[in-house]
Structure 1
Amino acid sequence: MSETPVRETRTAKRPTKTQIAWLRRGLSEPGGKLPLFNDQGQRVNDRMVRSCLEHGWAEPWFENPLKPNWLVCKLTDLGRKAVNGSP
């Protein structure tokens, strides 16, 4: 008896509500700059930022000389599409 091959289907990953809220803040900023802090003044979660980088929704913009371990990022075209619900 031969096994039926399993076909892997890839679905486009969508940002979470938290990621969308963060990415949307870049829509109104010059160059698409994404904030380092949330609306409550807390630093944004590094794992969330790295996840957005891995999915191509954000990209590193420049290094912060005062805080070299902080990622200063900007919104990508793919990030704009993800926020607007485009495939």
Structure 2
Amino acid sequence: MAGTGKSADRKTGKAAAKASATEQPTAAQRAWLTRGLDQPGGKLPLFDLNGQRVSTRMVRTCLDKGWAEPWFENPLKPDWLVCKLTVAGRRVVGGD
């Protein structure tokens, strides 16, 4: 099919970057993203401060907005998203 592939991916990435420049994270998103500022490579936690697993929906929203990106596959828990902050994510939480 013509029109799909890398150019479509680039458009999605640009749309996410544009959205992240105008939108602000919710309090929960901001708290999660901020925790990555002090971690090596900007690694974002899988669990909140109470030991509960971070909401997959929130993680996916941050991925869609370009504030986080997948880092690597977890071979022990393949359904868990191991993510790290993006440059846009650092900007949105004030961690330039």
Question: How much is the aligned-residue C-alpha RMSD, in angstroms?
Answer: 1.8
Task: Show structure 2 runs of 5+ residues with no match.
Answer: 1-18
Task: Show structure 1 runs of 5+ residues with no match.
Answer: 1-9
Contact 2:72 2:83 in 1 (8 A): yes
Structure in which a larger fraction of residues adopt helix = 2
Q: 2:33 aligns with which of 23, 38, 43?
A: 23
Deviation of 1:20 (Å): 0.4
Aligned equivalent of 1:5: none
Aligned equivalent of 1:6: none
Aligned equivalent of 2:73: 63
Residues in 1 aligned to 2:74 and 2:95: alpha-carbon distance in whole angstroms? 31
Residues in 1 aligned to 2:44 and 2:95: alpha-carbon distance in whole angstroms? 19
Deviation of 1:43 (Å): 0.1
Q: 4+ residue runs of structure 1 moved beyond 6 angstroms?
A: none
Q: State how many pairs are aligned.
A: 77
Instruction: Give the structure-1-normalised TM-score.
Output: 0.84
Bigger-Rg structure (1/2): 1
Instruction: Give the structure-2-normalised TM-score.
Output: 0.76
Percent identity over the alignment?
66
